[in-house]
Amino acid sequence: MSKLFTQSTIINVGLSSFAEAVVQTGGQAEQVEWTPPAAGDRDVGLALARLVKNPAVDAATEQSHQRYLQSQPVLVGIGTAGKDIPNMGERMLLHAGPPIDWPDMCGPVQGAIVGAILYERWANTPEDARKLAASGKIAFAPCHHHAAVGPMAGVISPSMPVWIVENTDGGNRAYSNMNEGLGKVLRFGANNKEVLDRLDWLQAVLGPALQKTVQKLGPLEMKPLIAQALHMGDECHNRNAAASSLLFRKLVPAALQTDVPADQLRSALGFIAGNDHFFLNLSMATCKAMLDAAHGVKGSAMVTVMARNGVKFGVRMSGTGDAWFQADALPVDGLYFPSYGPEDAAKDLGDSAITETAGIGGFAMAAAPAIVQFVGGTPADAVANTLAMTNITVGRNNAFTLPALNFTGTPAGIDARKVLDTNIMPIINTGIAHKEAGVGQIGAGITRAPLDCFSAAIKTLAASLQ
Amino acid sequence: MNVQTVITGEVSRFGALASPILWADTIGCRVPERWRKGRVQAVFERACHIVTDDRGFLAILTGDCGNVAHGIRLKTRPRLNAHVRVGQHVSFADNRITFGSQNLTVELADAEAWQSELRPGLFDNGLRLGNHATIARQLLTQAAARSDSEFLKLVARLDMPSTPLADLVGRQLAPLKTAQRSRDHASALATLANLIGLGPGLTPAGDDFIIGWLAGLTLSASTADAKLFLQEMCEGVADRRHATTTVSAQHLDDACQLQFSERLSNLCIAIGRDRSDTDLRALIDAQLAIGATSGADAAAGLMFALSDLARDGDSD
Amino acid sequence: MPTFCEVIPREYRDSVALMQLSAALAKMPGVAQASAVMGTENNLSLLRQAGMDIGQVAIGPNDLLIAIQGDEAAAGEALKEAKTRLSSQGAKVDAGGPLEMPPHSIGMALARHEDANLAMISTPGEYATAEALKALNLGLNVMLFSNNVSGADEAMLKRVARDKDLIVMGPDCGTAIINGIPLAFANVVKRGPIGAVGASGTGLQEITVLVDRLGSGISQAIGTGGHDLSAEVGGISMLTGLKYLTDDPETKIITLISKPPAKEIADQILGKARASGKPVVVIFLGADPKAITGGNIHGATTLEDAARIAVALAKGEKPPAANGAATLPAGLPKLAPGQKYIRGLFSGGTFCFQATMLLQSAMDIHSNSAVGKSLPLADMFKSEGNTVVDLGDDVFTRGRPHPMIDYRLRTERIVQEAQDPGMAVLLLDVVLGFGSNADPAAELIPALKKARQIAEKEGRAFICVGHVCGTDGDHQGLAAQSKALAETGMILADSNAQAVRLARDIVAPAK
């Protein structure tokens, strides 16, 4: 007998009065809160419909998700960007987000580029640095093109010390720079003497001290550390207080066994101890290592990169290779520090959305109720945000469990089809940068990945399968 | 966020995020401009009412609400009841409203002025209650079935259990209709007097109904007679507004100055314009989403004021 | 019984919170009435009218009053409970758990209801194909109410459905009754042994309603959309529906409804019908029933006949002969000279089609629903000679609701027809059920009265014939609607076919 004739729930899309009539006559109906997918682009909508429950896409997406789940990110050392990051040229600067040319870069990224040129001694004055940047003699490339990630402006130059995280399951490595703390810092576009001095110090003191410490410590598995931090109120994007402390607890005993001179060790450990966000860059490199493992499965609709360059929001998907799918970044819904307002804000910026892509950050907001005070919400809102994200992910990551949700895993592995089909935009916890270089962070809040990126991704995926 | 940088030894100038700033989006035209101190009178998730020391009144509304004449709408959607307490002191200076000891600040500098665009004579060049009036009636009739608003159910003529409130309201509607038709000022006001303050909540349903009814009269007042009737009604209701709660009296007073809420005026104007590219359902849903039943009660008043007009067109 | 009051100064709650509080208190033992309201004068007088003696309580409009009528001990308990609830309500706002968000896609809805088997889709047509395709890919049957879906899309969807052993009802499918649940524009009818598959929405409504009225019931009624039996689609949904009903043990008799399809498709359907092993009543509206009758196939001329045959077969009786004659009611007013024409104003497309079909043998008939030798209308908004119009035609519904919902177009046209001295009989349909107007009689009566006034003032008779397609289970109520309409002098027939014959016999008495 046809399945149609077994009494069960009717799913209603469209006129809600039809669902009400069904319920009135004793049936069951579920009303879908429907809005046209892909902002009403009929062709993309049809392309999406063909991909829903498509066996090949389902299998490929599942395969990439498995690779992500099986990845074993391990901190293996501290390196130097120019030496360790693959294909990093001598006069190359990496930046956050999708590719962008010098003239188009936003204020904070230009400021950071100028700072990096001065730091590398390629120029002596900010004016000369700008000229050099505009001259075409410096190569600019997204961090993501080099297995790297950087928060905010995300500028990485050859001399900088970098974290090296290896996925021991797949053998791929990922890199990120060192976190400089808050205030006047390169990642917000500042490039004065204080900033450059700190960069020199990172290179001369912190880098070598950490390098010896990590060597003494041996490979450090990152998943258990992040899992523990989630149980302590972090989501490892906008809140890293617990993870930074846990890392510090690992580092100190090893550091004390190295031959790093005591004064250097004191200032290095003091710096780490004073920076609640010290772990952020390591968190990002870990996420990058996990997601690169999932990248490159033909036909997969799993998102492997979400990143912003201050002008555009860019997305890459496992099944569509090197292509970036870009849209204008959305404004941040958040709270501003006193004397700043929305008109001062730069557009959404940074590679740090790699954390959300990997199922932590905003996706694990239920673990970090304190985060919601940025938007005047309640802990219930934090849980609701995480629950909402379960509707757009391939599955959950049981390595990262959430106490508030009875220890279920975080929603992880964004399925671009589900984003487009539900119009639920991936949520991102983020800081807000001032639009002018060097002012720094002026607030924090929540933003969303624009849907147009996912429309473009699905269109390309559908075309690649025909 | 409370960060010390060891290198510089300075405490971050940002400090903790203990003092959030909320940015105002629009400011209603009847929000008091000169006041210094006041108190929080009531707080809900999306609205907060402030009574100033000189007995002025204003409301703070979150970004997902429509504004009202005495309201300040925010750009964002914080849960106000998580930040503000009843009885808290409020001060106003330098374009900023500050709650308690700097617990929360509402910044007005960036906000735009807002006022209701609905006014009598807007459609003097021929108001035709066309499709949109019919569709609105249909949609509201449908909505009545699942609404808790007794007024909407009564106006939509749905079967409903007899309650003292429903019976009383039911007895007022017929005389009000007669008075509306004959533009009999005295009888209309006598009937309205029985509705003011009627209903359990903070904004009693009877008041919301009257506001919707006045909006309907405003929309359709294209003749001198109709305008005069509207004016008499506004004056009469304004005189009687103290028979209800302070908050509701403020809404009534706004309505009597023909300053209707953003959603109600948008809905009325859309019905009056009758343009097929308007998403009437969305406007009605927005209206019905106001408060618990307030939006529905006002919609009932609007429907009641217009139903008579629609019939005029049919009968001769 | 005494009333006890408590005044809580300056306490503000929204009305739902207070109504819930009142309801909860009223349920407590020993409490006769309970009310929590703001202390406005009108609220106080309302309480007094409800028999609660609140005395001269000192209260202002900004204070909350809790009034309990009951014995003293119970009232004390209730007042205590009220305070507890008020204080916890305030706290609950902050501690409330997250709300589950409503599903935003068919996939999300299915994840919550894994047993779901049908998606009902009524989005704008340009998005309907994609939603239907998703539903099919997710293993759901589809009822597609949306129109403006291209023939190519329809054929594609139906092929996908066939490959997955699913059915697509529609596009433009207005009616179905699945497992006793009326979907979209459908009537509340008894369940029973008769299953139906119809390419016509109102046709399906009329047959299910008549089956119900004749004392039998409907197992399943499946709509296919009007385009299903076209060469482009090939009757895929009709064939699937026929197969489903053949396999359905609840269905003893099968009824198929359509306009005459191309011979090849008709042959295929009749072949499967013959092979079903169940009695099958077939109505190809406008085609000769004798040509298809034989074996287990019973041809019918009208929707009414199809229902009558199906019910007879279900009761194990011999199929009745076609219903032809109409009995004119006594006391019909005399038509003035010049009153010669039928004016039919229909909201159901199939009713208009059937009227055109039945009238064309007796008279020249103008219609926007072309059948056999019917004549076109020069202007759809103006009648000429004998005219029947389907007011559900796209020409009329652009930018306004369907005439089953919005009666304005029809009431205006009724008055327009009444002004024409040539009109002899006004012929109407009134469709009840879900989706239709909440009170069609109330919409029609003023127009009918006015039409009568116009005609009688000018010395003409006003005769209106119609039928109500509906049951007493419908929320409008068949009996109530019929009574109200009959009181205006409308002559009510049991079916569309009978109404049409009555109208025919009034203007062209049988020779």
pTM of the predicted model over 0.80: no
Q: Is C145 on the interface with A (CB under 8 A)?
A: yes
Closest-approach residue (CA) in chain A for C108: A391
Find how far residue A257's CA is from the centre of its chain.
34
- CB C496, CB C206: distance < 8 Å: yes
Give yes or no for residue C410 having a pLDDT over 80.
yes
Give yes or no for residue C421 having a pLDDT over 80.
yes
Give B83's contacts in chain A (Cβ within 8 Å). Answer: 376
Q: pLDDT per residue over C183-192, tens digit each?
A: 989 999 999 9
pLDDT at residue C46, rounded to an integer: 85
**Given A4, A33, A49, which is nearest C178 (Cβ)?**
A4
pLDDT band at C486 (very low <50, low <70, confident <90, very high): very high
Give C22's contacts in chain B (Cβ within 8 Å). Answer: 200
pLDDT band at A216 (very low <50, low <70, confident <90, very high): very high
Give B205's contacts in chain C (Cβ within 8 Å). Answer: 15
Give C400's contacts in chain B (Cβ within 8 Å). Answer: 131, 134-135
Give A21's contacts in chain C (Cβ within 8 Å). Answer: 182-184, 434-435
**Given C406, C438, C450, which is nearest B134 (Cβ)?**
C406
Give C97's contacts in chain A (Cβ within 8 Å). Answer: 380, 383
The two structure tokens encoding residue B7? 């290198």
The two structure tokens encoding residue A462? 């559908």
Partners of chain A (3+ Cβ pairs below 8 A)? B, C
Which stretch of A403-407, B260-264, C308-312 has the lowest confidence by average pLDDT?
A: A403-407
Average pLDDT over residues B47-51: 90
Give C35's contacts in chain B (Cβ within 8 Å). Answer: 200
Q: Is C176 on the interface with A (CB under 8 A)?
A: no
Give B77's contacts in chain A (Cβ within 8 Å). Answer: 333, 375-376
The two structure tokens encoding residue A400? 């990262």
Give yes or no for residue B312 having a pLDDT over 50.
no
CA angle C496, C499, C505 (to 5 degrees): 140
3-state secondary structure of A140: strand
Shortest Cα–Cα distance, B121 to chain A (Å): 35
pLDDT band at B87 (very low <50, low <70, confident <90, very high): confident
Q: pLDDT per residue over A236-292, tens digit each?
A: 999 999 999 999 999 999 999 999 999 999 999 999 999 999 999 999 999 999 999
3-state secondary structure of C122: coil
- CB-count exposure of residue A137 (10 Å: 0-12, 13-18, 19+): exposed
ipTM comes to 0.91
Q: Is C148 on the interface with A (CB under 8 A)?
A: no
pLDDT at residue C504, rounded to an integer: 94
**Given B2, B7, B79, which is nearest A271 (Cβ)?**
B7
pLDDT at residue A382, rounded to an integer: 87
Beta partners for residue A395, in sequence order: A412
CB interface of C with B, residues 72-101, below 8 Å? 93-94
- Return the number of CB contacts < 8 Å for A and B: 80
Which residue has 């007998």 as its token pair? A1
- CB C118, CB C110: distance < 8 Å: no
Sign of the dihedral through C-alpha C436, C442, C447, C453? positive
Average pLDDT over residues A54-76: 96
- CB C135, CB C120: distance < 8 Å: no
pLDDT band at B8 (very low <50, low <70, confident <90, very high): very low
The two structure tokens encoding residue C503? 């109208």
Shortest Cα–Cα distance, A62 to chain C (Å): 17
For residue A165, what are the CA distances in angstroms to A79, A222, A333? 10, 9, 32
- H-run or E-run covering C125: helix C125-137
pLDDT at residue C234, rounded to an integer: 95
Q: pLDDT per residue over B123-143, tens digit each?
A: 765 556 667 778 888 888 888
Shortest Cα–Cα distance, B168 to chain C (Å): 8
Find how far residue C113's CA is from the centre of its chain.
27
Shortest Cα–Cα distance, B43 to chain A (Å): 15
Give yes or no for residue C38 having a pLDDT over 90.
no
Phi, psi of A193 (to 5 degrees): -60, -40
Closest-approach residue (CA) in chain A for C113: A9
Beta partners for residue B19, in sequence order: none
Alpha carbons A412 and A226: distance in angstroms, whole number: 14
**Given C109, C130, C249, which is nearest A30 (Cβ)?**
C109
Is C178 within 8 Å of A424 when comparing Cβ atoms? no
Average pLDDT over residues B164-175: 86
Which stretch of B86-100, C79-93, C276-290 has the lowest confidence by average pLDDT?
A: C79-93
Is B17 within 8 Å of A337 when comparing Cβ atoms? yes
**Given A198, A341, A377, which is nearest B107 (Cβ)?**
A341
pLDDT at residue C445, rounded to an integer: 96
Give yes or no for residue B315 having a pLDDT over 50.
no
Instruction: From C301, C305, C336, C343, select the one nearest C465 (Cα to Cα).
Output: C343
Q: pLDDT per residue over C263-280, tens digit each?
A: 999 999 999 999 999 999
Which of A404-413, B61-70, C109-118, C161-170 is the most confident on average? Answer: C161-170
Residue B314 amino acid letter: D
pLDDT at residue B309, rounded to an integer: 57
**Given B12, B17, B83, which is nearest A183 (Cβ)?**
B12
A441-448 vs A333-336, strand pairing mode: antiparallel
Is C435 within 8 Å of A42 when comparing Cβ atoms? no
Give yes or no for residue C210 having a pLDDT over 70.
yes
Higher pLDDT, A394 or C64: A394
Beta partners for residue A149, in sequence order: A176
Is B202 within 8 Å of C12 when comparing Cβ atoms? yes
The two structure tokens encoding residue C388? 């029947």
**Given B1, B12, B21, which is nearest A338 (Cβ)?**
B21
DSSP symbols for C138-183: TT-EEEE------HHHHHHHHHHHHHTT--EE-SS--EEEETTEEE
Shortest Cα–Cα distance, B6 to chain A (Å): 5
As a whole-number percent, the residues of chain B with pLDDT over 90 amount to 35
- CB-count exposure of residue C330 (10 Å: 0-12, 13-18, 19+): exposed
Average pLDDT over residues A389-409: 92
Give yes or no for residue C99 having a pLDDT over 60.
no
**Given B42, B194, B200, which is nearest C15 (Cβ)?**
B200
Partners of chain C (3+ Cβ pairs below 8 A)? A, B
Closest-approach residue (CA) in chain A for C124: A14
Alpha carbons C1 and C52: distance in angstroms, whole number: 9
Q: Is C453 on the interface with B (CB under 8 A)?
A: no
CB interface of B with C, residues 104-163, below 8 Å? 131, 134-135, 138, 141, 148, 157
